Amino acid sequence: MKLKEKILIALLTLFAFNGAHAQENERIDVDINLIKVNVTMNPEHYRQLMDRYLKADTTLRIDEVATVYYGYAATPDYAPDLTFPEIDEAISLENYEKAYRLSLAAAKEAPVSLPVLINVIKLMPHIDLKGNLDSYLNIRQRLEMLIGTILASGTGIRRELPFKVISEGDMMVILKDILEVKEIIGSSKIGNLDAVKITFPTNSREHILYFDNTTHEQYRQHNP
């Protein structure tokens, strides 16, 4: 399967459930700097969009989801290097109920973090559905909206159309959990882009995917 087809299948699978209203070949022009300026200038509007997103509002347009996701980098809560070792510890002890509760709490602290949200999805098979279904469906819808928006931000296979993310962790979720790459052979910098060399389970042919993770890199420069 060609890389472009792999990405398209991932995109279509998500958009089958996604409330972001993207069409099969829809791409959005994401200007992260402009979004951050708009969020800074209109914080109340951003809070309204965030409230709708937290409720998994399926009437959100894809450009509104993009504002929620990329605009989060303009808020004081943006902390792309934030980790939750207590969740990993609970999982290692096979205390999945605790890990699930901690993951839900983490999703409130880091509401647009793909690694945090996907933890909830991964834990679901290990816990009792009773009493947890609503929270699971909320997180799943939010995750689908965010991933669909990121995949619509570019093609990933062309330098001029990279996937745009706001954290390295989000980039890894796209690679490992959504596109399901077999191996990340390595990565290099081409200008401001991360060029990630990968293979898929179906064959050993090497591919390159391009990501724009400038937002996270700028954060690290200012928060060493």
Q: What is the pTM of this model?
A: 0.89
Separation of alpha carbons 55 and 130, rounded Å: 20
Query: What is the Cα 2 distance to its own chain's centre?
Result: 23
The pLDDT score that the predictor gives to residue 130 is 85
The pLDDT score that the predictor gives to residue 7 is 46
Tokens representing 117? 């949200």
pLDDT tens for the chain, 224 residues: list them. Answer: 455 455 444 544 444 334 334 444 468 999 999 999 999 999 999 999 999 999 999 999 999 999 999 999 999 999 999 999 999 999 999 999 999 999 999 999 999 999 999 999 999 999 988 889 999 999 999 999 999 999 999 999 999 999 999 999 999 999 999 988 989 999 999 999 999 999 988 888 899 999 999 999 999 999 98
User: Tokens 């060399």 appear where?
Assistant: 197
The pLDDT score that the predictor gives to residue 2 is 53
Query: What is the Cα 69 distance to its own chain's centre?
Result: 8
Residues 6+ apart with CB under 8 A from 98: 90
User: Tokens 């209203």 appear where?
Assistant: 21
**H-assigned helices in the chain:** 3-15, 32-41, 43-54, 62-71, 85-92, 96-109, 114-123, 133-152, 168-173, 214-222
